[in-house]
Structure 1
Amino acid sequence: MNTAKAIQALQAGGYNKLFSYLYVTDDAGADKQAARYERAVTEFEALYGKEKEVEFFSAPGRTEVGGNHTDHQHGRVLAGSVNLDVIAVCAKNDEGIIRIKSEGFAMDTVDLTDLTVQQKEINKAAALIRGIAARLNSLGYKIGGFDAYTTSNVLKGSGLSSSAAFEVLVGTVLNHIYNSGAISAVEIAQIGQYAENFFFGKPCGLMDQTASSVGGFVAIDFKDPTHPVVEKIDFDFAHSGYALCIVDTGGNHADLTGDYADIPAEMKQVAALCGKQVLREVDEKVFYENLPKIRKEAGDRAALRAIHFFGDNERAKEEADALKAGDFETFKKIIIASGQSSFNYLQNVFTTKNPSEQGISLALAISEKLLAGKGAWRVHGGGFAGTIQAFVPIGMLDEYKAEMEKVFGADTCHVLSIRPVGGIKVEDSILR
């Protein structure tokens, strides 16, 4: 539909049923989304002109639910897409040029006649766009130009993976505009990872893109990282009686690169001492047989981190099994056990460089006091600084949010839901 008709449909509530489903919200929330999309159309018109034929696209942020620091050892994870997303208003063009203006950023313009890595684009959004187009082209898919305006409410620095959402969005647009939606969600995720690794310059794993692209609760097994086994878990979180909270504890991420890098390095050192490359290849019995040598050559922390991997790799599977069985009580218990393992063995809740700053530890302690016997809590994402995750009974949500924000500041407790779908063209067929 053209931009004028799109605005008319949004104002008339034509998308509200779809928005209620997509964003796990009530009528008022759907109205807010309609207003958000309308503003995006207006911005699109200001950039590219009125009366153009446009389509809407959306890709969600993600939350890691199980498998803390297991993916880089070819382990299992459980992740979920959340009801925060990056959306795009798009119009196809015949110029062979992709133009994307993201709210708050300069226009990115990518000429598709040159699909090589551009050094000046490294660490910039244009590199992701070019890399996705290049990978699609090399795989034999069609590519072409489009004009887009995007806006995102995926929280920056919260471990919800705004960059992966953007990659999935671009891949989803090209999938629908030029390939009739024929590319699978998993392949779109892999294409996004390729762009981030080889064009953007960041050696990321595949969990973030997969969770965003597939949607809902997603169990991923990276035993063969070139062909991950992805299973979408059929669980209706919206009717679980719990809210998903991400609490931003603050802290300085500037000097944490070494802390993050030490975890995979130490785990791989343990694996090497057991004759393997990554811990997924190591038999746990062999690990314990070699523990004296591991302590001597790799140190106690490396050994403890390996113990965490063996436990959390199994817990990720058990969490998925509990959700498939509709057993949320067991799911919560495993979440708590996973969090305790991250604290005690993985040791990624604070940096030893600054032991007086322990926001994550404090948030976990407060959560345990409030939620013991009722909810669940764990470190979220990479750790050392940043966020925790909590599953809070709906009846306790106001109390939990108030107590956390009393300590960590206003608007630091973000109440989210698991979104049922991943990267999509926003249309009524989703509801069927």
Structure 2
Amino acid sequence: MGSATAARALLTEVAGIEPVGTWSAPGRVNLIGEHTDYNDGFVLPFAIQQRTHVALGTRADGRIRVVSTFDGDAVEVDLAALDELFPANRGEVPEWAAYPLGVAWALLRRTGRSAVSVTGVDLAIASDVPIGAGLSSSAAIEGAVATTLNDAWGLGLDRVALAQVGRTAENEAVGAPTGIMDQMASMLGRADAAIFLDCRSLAASVVDLGFADAGLQLVVIDTGVKHSHATGGYGERRAACERGAEIMGVRALRDVSVDDLARAAELMDDVTFRRVRHIVTENQRVLDTVAVLRDHGPRAIGALLLASHASMRDDFEISVPELDTAVEAAMSAGAIGARMTGGGFGGAAIALVEHDRVQTVMDAAASAFAASGFAAPTMFTVVPSVGAGRDA
């Protein structure tokens, strides 16, 4: 059963009604540009074919009920009570439910609409975006719910505004200090293209990837190592970036260039400097990757992907042995380039691979994991795909 069918069936099971419609939003892979988004920098993500679907039913009692295939218990509250739950969710609702309920709260806050001015809803959620793999299952939920409620409530927000709503929900309702890259990729995705995003201005442009024409595929190697952005390491990295920007006297590390790194090294302790160096060089790698894609095509970006991984491993220190093993195995089996993707501390690596070498790369990764005593990775290919929208 596909996730769209599963969402519809779940709504009927829980609410006893046929859905008004179904909407969906994709997960994303970040081709390059990691942890640059909350530093006002540049990123180059693309939406993938794996999606989260939402089936909508309306109700007359001013309440919102959410249910998902990954948690059997529905959560139901008065729309008017959302302001009591958020922004400080003190455990009144489980974390998975804070995503859709947080989106509803953020939409009402963004538009200034009162709870009594919109209809009550039942939302049933099903997804085939792997959770915890660094493919932004959270932004897929946020994008799907935001798109659904934007239509159902006639709010008229554009895609950028809906991405901002998703970020507000994740930052303030869930408590994860993420940037806006994931939500923008999920909202703005195009087939066989990436979104070149300036996270300060939110200016976005489409960059053709040309994977299909070049006979290339992107393999995801999901290590199975779980991470949580709302805890520990992610927040520490963000704090180090803010500290580095303050030391350099700039608004954000976006305003520090590669040429400034020598001065930064003199002003900072070693750890803060290495965190800053990753962000500054990663921003430059994004710009270089866009230029290389436009001028030379996707076969020429391998060295940039590898340099990105090395920077995350050594300077930002967010890789784990499983991710390093995945990258090394992919390269040894003939990948053009590979790197970890996502927030780090687990999740997935990606490898850009000739179409006829996909199985070779997957076999090499499986063998390397077995030899290292790691649990077997989950592997699949992803295709740059369209963003959020109504499906039926």
TM-score range, shorter chain: 0.7 to 0.9
Equivalent residue number for residue 131 of structure 1 = 102
Residues of 2 paired with 1:110 and 1:324: CA distance? 49
* Aligned sequence identity (%): 27
Equivalent residue number for residue 3 of structure 1 = none
Q: CA deviation at 1:135?
A: 2.7
- Structure 1 residues 92, 347: closer, same or farther in 2, change over 3 A? same
8 Å CA contact 2:47–2:387 kept in 1: the answer is yes
Equivalent residue number for residue 398 of structure 1 = 359
Equivalent residue number for residue 377 of structure 1 = 338
Equivalent residue number for residue 58 of structure 1 = 24
8 Å CA contact 1:248–1:386 kept in 2: the answer is yes
TM-score normalised per structure 1? 0.78
- Structure 1 residues 238, 88: closer, same or farther in 2, change over 3 A? farther
Superposition pairs of residues 184-263 of structure 1, within 5 angstroms: 184-216=158-190, 217-222=194-199, 224=200, 227-251=201-225, 253=227, 257-263=231-237
- Structure 1 residues 188, 317: closer, same or farther in 2, change over 3 A? same
Decide which of 364, 367, 376 is 2:327's aligned counterpart.
Answer: 364
Residues of 2 paired with 1:178 and 1:412: CA distance? 42
Superposition pairs of residues 295-310 of structure 1, within 5 angstroms: 298-299=269-270, 301-310=271-280
Q: CA deviation at 1:284?
A: 4.1
SS at match of 1:388: strand
Aligned Cα root-mean-square deviation (Å): 2.8
> How many residues align structurally?
376
Q: Indicate the structure (1 or 2) with the bigger Cα radius of gyration.
A: 1
Q: CA deviation at 1:411?
A: 6.5
Deviations 1:270-300, CA, capped at 9 Å, x for gaps: 3333223432223544442353333xxx12x
- Structure 1 residues 269, 42: closer, same or farther in 2, change over 3 A? closer
Q: Does 1:269 align with 2:243?
A: yes
Equivalent residue number for residue 88 of structure 1 = 54
Q: CA deviation at 1:194?
A: 1.0
Q: CA deviation at 1:173?
A: 0.4
Residues of 2 paired with 1:101 and 1:262: CA distance? 33
Residues of 1 paired with 2:198 and 2:283: CA distance? 9
Equivalent residue number for residue 278 of structure 1 = 252
Q: CA deviation at 1:189?
A: 1.1
Q: Does 1:73 align with 2:39?
A: yes
SS at match of 2:9: helix
TM-score normalised per structure 2? 0.85
Q: CA deviation at 1:426?
A: 0.8
8 Å CA contact 1:110–1:129 kept in 2: the answer is no
Q: Does 1:423 align with 2:388?
A: yes
Residues of 1 paired with 2:177 and 2:94: CA distance? 12
Q: CA deviation at 1:212?
A: 1.4
8 Å CA contact 2:8–2:22 kept in 1: the answer is no
8 Å CA contact 2:229–2:343 kept in 1: the answer is no
Q: CA deviation at 1:107?
A: 0.8
Q: CA deviation at 1:73?
A: 1.8
SS at match of 2:61: coil
Structure 2 unaligned regions, length at least 5: none
8 Å CA contact 2:132–2:227 kept in 1: the answer is no
Superposition pairs of residues 168-183 of structure 1, within 5 angstroms: 168-179=143-154, 182-183=156-157
Equivalent residue number for residue 146 of structure 1 = 121
